[in-house]
Structure 1
Amino acid sequence: MNDKKMKDSPQVEATGTALVPSNTSNINNTEKSKRIKKHKLSLMMGFIIGALSAYGLTTAPLFADTTSTNAVAPKVAVGGGLPELATMIKKSRSAVVSITVKTGKSSAGNRLSQLSEKQLERLPKQYQDLLKNLPKQPHDYGSRRGQAYGSGFIISEDGYVVTNAHVIDDADTITVKLDDKRELEAKKIGVDKLSDIALLKIEAKDLPVASFGDSDKLDVGQWVVAIGAPFGLDYTATQGIVSALSRSLPADTYVPFIQTDAAVNPGNSGGPLFDLNGQVVGVNSQIYSRSGGYMGVSFAIPINIVKNVTDQLKTSGKVSRGWLGVGIQGINEALAESLGRDDTIGSLISSVSPSSPADKAGLQAGDLILKFDNKTVEEVNDLPLLVGSTPIGKKVPVEIVRAGKIQTIDVTIDKLKSKDDEPEEVAALEKGSLGVAVTDLTDAEKEKLVTKNQGVKVAKVMPDSAAENAGLRSGDIILSVGGQSIASPSQLKQVIQKANGDKPLAVLLMRGDQALFVAVHLNS
């Protein structure tokens, strides 16, 4: 004990020998002093209790009773004190999993030493000699294996697991660790990058399942608990409150994030955010940080969004969203006044995509959208979520202000084309194949072509394929093959399958603003 502690701390001597008083008056004085101190202490405690009550606090027990395990919902101190979380965490953690992802990528140096003979033949002779004389590399030389950690939770007894899409990016293997210490390899069922949600499947039965709450019923100030594996430290629990709702982040227009101050760090991604009833109300996804670690601002994907996404991923492996085809912005007081409005509610159309549902219905730049499908558009960020969750092909009323007058226009919603849609491969590398992956053209790409309903876009060219040997590139638009117009990936596949592979095929391309023909030898 240091000098300061010795001076400030009450001194107690315990030598094992009774203290004998020198006289009776000293005893009386001591008793009187004790009574005075006791009275002062009582007054002081009364003042403290009164002050606490004034601020809505009470003298709840410092350590709450945690012996009862019958109810999941924790006991909360009367008057707004701190909740007792141990029971809820104990009940809920069994459905939480930690996720380990391993990736492996070959270095450029390794690929250069493994060029095919045909690829070498197309290089200048001095480069051919140089590359042929490179020393042979071991099979795994230059490979880089990475390992990353994340979290997730089980949503079905037969092994469906939810996590973040970014947790399993470029994964070669995904391992899920359960509460009972079992480690099982997971299969990727589907990924939706727009919501940052991925659905996995492990082979197991009778698993503990997380209970879903209702994120639409959350309130700012409500207590929440995050459970996950920050930095690989599994089953770490942190608590906080809901700091804000419907928070919009850059490039995340389809997710109205829940903002919390629960400590979330790398490795927490994909883990559940629980309410005090032990129900999942969100999936921890992002943090705001200047250091790479927790700084008091965390963001979770609302569970109501997650339920919709995972249902679609389970059914089809991908997520379909509605598309309106407008550029939008919010309005300030000056813009509102110019539009004859006395409030700033709504979403202002700044542009309309050609041939989009909005264009076909007659919506115009300058229209102010007040309601979509009878739901009020309070802020600009409300509209993408409302449109995205609308079934494809549904006709919805859109209430707008145009030239100071309110009117309603019916719009039939189309499917949003996503850059993450999987390209259809015409790509098997056996003899007679083309060796490309292609996608449909977007409306904007079609508008640039003379023939609006013709063409597919090359998303990927397979190494050492007929397409690569012919000089096709990613981004090329295939207009025709062998004189037959190509309007879809499936049509291209049919044409290639029927083609005579012993003769070169004339393929008409659009590369940038230039049209050109290339000859493709399918059997080369």
Structure 2
Amino acid sequence: MNTARTIRSSLALLLGMVLGVAAPGQTPSPVPRRPEVPNTKPARPVQVENSVSAPQVVTILHRLNGLKVIRLLLRGNEELGAIASLDEAFQMSGEVHTNVIAGLALSDGQTIAAWLPEAEAELPPPVPFAPVAPTAPAPPGSPAAGSVAPAPRAVPALPPTRFQRSFPGVDLKVVMRDGRNLPGQYVGLDGLTGLSVITLSDSNLPKTADALDDSIQAGQRVRLIGPEPVSQTESGAKGIYVRVGETEATVVDVTRSATKQLARVRIESARITQANIGAVVVNDAGEPLGIVNAVDGDEASILPVGLVRSAAARVMARRASVPRPWLGVRGEPIGRLSLERILKVGWQGERARALAEKRQGLLLTSVMPGSPAASAELKAGDVILKVNNEMVLNAEDFSMFLQDAAPGSFVNFTVMRPGTAASEAFKIKLAESPNWFFGPNLFDIKTPLLPDRLFVIPGIETIAIKPRVAARLGATGGLLIVYAQPNSVAFAAGLRPGDVIESVNGESIVTRSASGLIHKTTGTTVVVVRNKKKLTIAIPPGK
């Protein structure tokens, strides 16, 4: 999906930042030519025009301040070394960007599901993860000989309390059809589907029935309802004008899971654009069918309403974000591979040709150490033929068959291996993904973000700032805190987003890295600049 990349690009222009020193250990991306930076302005009133007949579709306004914009860019794995400059009107705590998206009011009358493309800005940073290789077998005759070697260290589970009460200051407004603006409470993100869940304490949302799965057929006409782009003239200088419109489309494909549940719906229309991502899809009777989660040309895919309900139920049961499940493999569909490619990974002769001709299964190209797949002893070169007894033809099938799985659940895999004639059965317990909020991905994780940037002090996320930016904040340089975990020791000690850390344990970090300055056993003293005033904060040893 290109929408998130487009949003981040526009935010980078709004931020007006250029890259400074690249983070150590990584190759910096080419520095683009700096464009003209538009002025940022204080929050403007929003006017929503909604004449579409679909009472269960609401409009959501998600506002981000300057710190969250910076955080969003960091979460995109951008190669940011330091902030070198900012637009003169850029405000750390003031509104910088407003995203407008459709929301689907669920049948309980209080819960809303929506595809918020900038939800990452509200979430904690990823958990640092350093895989550990499997323990070597003990030498024959040693006391440990014959014992079962421990599996590679699994990715540590994310404690449920890590994400509870982690969303202070989320600026969400839900605009009703009658024009009322109601504050929404952000409950969390479902890592598998990418949907955000929002609740309203006293909303009187309409309680409507969803369309039955059996009623969705290829050739059926549907409507996509959501905010439409408007011109600068229409929006005007005094406020933001939002028009909720609809796009007609036709169902071209319906796929069901092994349990006959609607798993995937594809629609087609010459009018579909990237702006339709997040739109709510309804039938001619106005019954919701799902939410658009991807667009490719003139086709779009829909998360069926049954999966939307399941996502909301997972988040509400935890009252917090739910990490996506993770297996820890990378693979390629056999149907896309040549015979030569299959031969190169250990398959031989007739067995390789049989695989290529059947065009079934997923060839594993790598297995991440410490992952559930590694613990189960899956290896590169293995071919996953079935998931829960369902034949895998491509990567999309693989993900679809796992869409009802949750972290901690067991999944059955049927695997063929280069060195054995018969298939083998594996029952693997899925883990929580270390980078769970970067979108649904059951295969692998992105390159971990550098601990020196994210975890200079446990519980906070920072980025270096150049003197020109620091001067605006009353500092000489150092690290800008863009996130502080509310239940962390650092937060309890007094560190807050927007603080600039100038020194750690008496040593300036304006001219050197903070790595190695933290005293994990005796505590840490930091000097920060807040509102152009210096504060000294003592942080006790972490637990």
TM class by shorter chain equals: 0.5 to 0.7
How far is the alpha carbon of 1:523 from its aligned partner? Answer: 7.1
In structure 2, C-alpha distance between the alignment counterparts of 1:343 and 1:97, rounded to whole Å: 47
Q: Which has the higher contact order (CA 8 A, sep 6+)?
A: 2
Instruction: Say yes or no: does 1:165 pair with 2:116.
Output: yes
Aligned-partner SS, 1:381: helix
In structure 1, C-alpha distance between the alignment counterparts of 2:180 and 2:114, rounded to whole Å: 18
User: Would the alpha carbon gap of residues 465 and 472 (structure 1) be closer, same or farther in structure 2, given more than 3 Å must change?
Assistant: closer
Q: Counterpart of 1:163 in structure 2: which amino acid?
A: A
Aligned to 1:344: 359
Matches within 5 A, 1:1-400: 93-105=54-66, 145-166=96-117, 173-192=171-190, 195-213=193-211, 218-231=216-229, 234-244=243-253, 258-261=266-269, 263-264=271-272, 268-288=276-296, 296-314=298-316, 315-332=318-335, 334-335=338-339, 338=352, 340-341=354-355, 342-387=357-402, 389-400=404-415
How far is the alpha carbon of 1:406 from its aligned partner? Answer: 2.0
How far is the alpha carbon of 1:368 from its aligned partner? Answer: 1.4
How far is the alpha carbon of 1:208 from its aligned partner? Answer: 0.3
In structure 2, C-alpha distance between the alignment counterparts of 1:144 and 1:177, rounded to whole Å: 18
Instruction: Say yes or no: does 1:417 pair with 2:434.
Output: yes
In structure 1, C-alpha distance between the alignment counterparts of 2:222 and 2:266, rounded to whole Å: 11
Aligned-partner SS, 2:291: strand
In structure 2, C-alpha distance between the alignment counterparts of 1:359 and 1:188, rounded to whole Å: 35
Q: Contact 2:210–2:288 at 8 Å: present in 1 too? A: yes
Q: Contact 1:151–1:268 at 8 Å: present in 2 too? A: no
Aligned-partner SS, 2:224: strand
Q: Counterpart of 2:538 in structure 1: which amino acid?
A: L
How far is the alpha carbon of 1:330 from its aligned partner? Answer: 0.8
How far is the alpha carbon of 1:360 from its aligned partner? Answer: 2.1
In structure 2, C-alpha distance between the alignment counterparts of 1:344 and 1:428, rounded to whole Å: 46
Q: Contact 1:106–1:144 at 8 Å: present in 2 too? A: no
Aligned-partner SS, 1:369: strand
TM-score normalised to structure 2 length: 0.51
Q: How many residues align?
A: 341
Q: Contact 1:102–1:148 at 8 Å: present in 2 too? A: yes
Q: Greater helix percent: which structure?
A: 1
Q: Counterpart of 2:245 in structure 1: which amino acid?
A: T
Q: Contact 2:114–2:196 at 8 Å: present in 1 too? A: yes
Q: Contact 2:504–2:517 at 8 Å: present in 1 too? A: no
In structure 1, C-alpha distance between the alignment counterparts of 2:99 and 2:89, rounded to whole Å: 26
RMSD (Å) for aligned C-alpha atoms: 4.9
Aligned-partner SS, 1:311: helix
TM-superposition CA deviations, 1:351-383 (whole Å, max 9, x none): 111232222222222221111222332322222
In structure 2, C-alpha distance between the alignment counterparts of 1:102 and 1:503, rounded to whole Å: 31
Q: Contact 1:466–1:523 at 8 Å: present in 2 too? A: no
Q: Contact 2:504–2:526 at 8 Å: present in 1 too? A: no
Q: Contact 1:269–1:286 at 8 Å: present in 2 too? A: yes
In structure 1, C-alpha distance between the alignment counterparts of 2:245 and 2:499, rounded to whole Å: 44
Q: Contact 1:96–1:152 at 8 Å: present in 2 too? A: yes
Q: Contact 1:167–1:269 at 8 Å: present in 2 too? A: no
In structure 1, C-alpha distance between the alignment counterparts of 2:287 and 2:194, rounded to whole Å: 20
Q: Counterpart of 1:237 in structure 2: which amino acid?
A: E
TM-score normalised to structure 1 length: 0.53
Q: Counterpart of 2:358 in structure 1: which amino acid?
A: D
Structure 2: stretches of 5+ with no match in the other structure? 1-49, 70-87, 123-169, 230-240, 257-262, 343-350, 439-448, 463-480, 486-496, 528-535
Aligned to 1:126: none
More divergent stretch after superposition (334-343 vs 159-168): 334-343
In structure 1, C-alpha distance between the alignment counterparts of 2:95 and 2:267, rounded to whole Å: 36
Q: Counterpart of 2:188 in structure 1: which amino acid?
A: G
How far is the alpha carbon of 1:480 from its aligned partner? Answer: 11
